[in-house]
Amino acid sequence: MGTERGPGKPAGNETGRRTGNERKSRVKFFVDTAEVDEIRELAATGLVDGVTTNPSLVAKSGRDFLEVLREICELVPGPVSAEVTATEAEAMIAEGRHLAAIAPNVAIKVPLTWDGLKACRALSDEGTTVNVTLCFSAAQALLAAKAGASFVSPFVGRLDDIGQDGMKLIEDIRLIYDNYPDTLETEILVASVRHPMHVVEAARLGADVATVPPKVLRQLAHHPLTDKGLDAFLADWRKTGQTIVGG
Ligand code: G3P
């Protein structure tokens, strides 16, 4: 994998940085929604490695948070991010412990604030998976890793919204984390994904996870030439009058 954005070209380059093989992760897709029916349908494809929710997505579902969380945790084996709504560290830790007790695959989402970092450290030290969210700078991502976060969630779409380059942030975080492979073990979870190119760029830059709205996950599979090619194949096949099974 390489990028045309200058330094940070990982694969086998002369900088001695780790190549894709040395990095432990495999590319993962999380679904970014609290809609249980969507998750059930997408999880059946076997392409879903986890789920991320946030207070806005839970509010949009119109359902009880803890009930929805329990259902989602039964549908996907991987991490299911559930966000605290307290803003003080002690209250965040209490909420985090309560949410983590719901299922073993719950990951606690805390905001990238000073109190959030304190809560991250405390919960991580207790062995809880923590996803530090609302990340918008490389400096913030460095602190999240130092606080023991399992995941950091940079919001690329919201940076693009204000004319900043969201994927450049992913490149910077990847470069920084790769400089300290033994101490910074946080996975980069690309969030606020708006379109398929965010996912492609995330993979090109070596991000560990992309959390994707259901609509964008389905768009990833779509290509007009695939549809056109399949139509042509099937039209030709129909002319043969044959069937493969039950001929
Ligand atoms: O996971 C965060 C994500 O839900 C925010 O996305 O599209 O509201 O910026 P968006």
Question: Confidence band (pLDDT; 50, 70, 90) for 246?
Answer: confident
Q: Is the CB of 211 under 6 A from ligand 1?
A: yes
* Among protein residues, the one whose CA lies closest to atom 10 of ligand 1: 192
Query: Would you say residue 118 has pLDDT above 50?
Result: yes
Q: Establish whether 109 is a catalytic residue.
A: yes
pLDDT, residue 210, reads 98
Distance 166 CA to ligand 1 centre (A): 13
Q: Is the CB of 124 under 6 A from ligand 1?
A: no
pLDDT, the chain, mean? 92
* Among protein residues, the one whose CA lies closest to atom 9 of ligand 1: 192
Report the percent of the chain where pLDDT is more than 90.
88
Q: Helices (H), strands (E): how many in the chain?
A: 11, 8
pLDDT tens digits, one per residue of 152-196: 999 999 999 999 999 999 999 999 999 999 999 999 999 999 999
Question: Confidence band (pLDDT; 50, 70, 90) for 69?
Answer: very high
Query: Quick count: other Cβ atoms within 10 Å of Cβ 185?
Result: 13
Range with lowest mean pLDDT among 2-11, 85-94, 115-124, 197-206? 2-11
Give the residue with greater pLDDT, 241 vs 16.
Answer: 241
Among the listed residues 61, 125, 123, the one whose alpha carbon sits nearest the alpha carbon of residue 95: 123
Query: Would you say residue 224 has pLDDT above 50?
Result: yes
Range with lowest mean pLDDT among 14-28, 67-81, 192-206? 14-28
The contacts of residue 24 (CB under 8 Å, 6+ apart) are none
* Among protein residues, the one whose CA lies closest to atom 5 of ligand 1: 192
Distance 192 CA to ligand 1 centre (A): 4
Q: At what angle are helices 196-204 and 166-179 packed, to 10 degrees?
A: 20
Mutate to test the pocket of ligand 1, among 51, 152, 153, 155 (most ligand atoms within 8 A of CB): 155
Query: Would you say residue 9 has pLDDT above 80?
Result: no
pLDDT tens digits, one per residue of 15-47: 444 444 444 456 799 999 999 999 999 999 999
Q: Is the CB of 168 under 6 A from ligand 1?
A: no
Q: Write down the catalytic residue from 24, 109, 146, 168.
A: 109
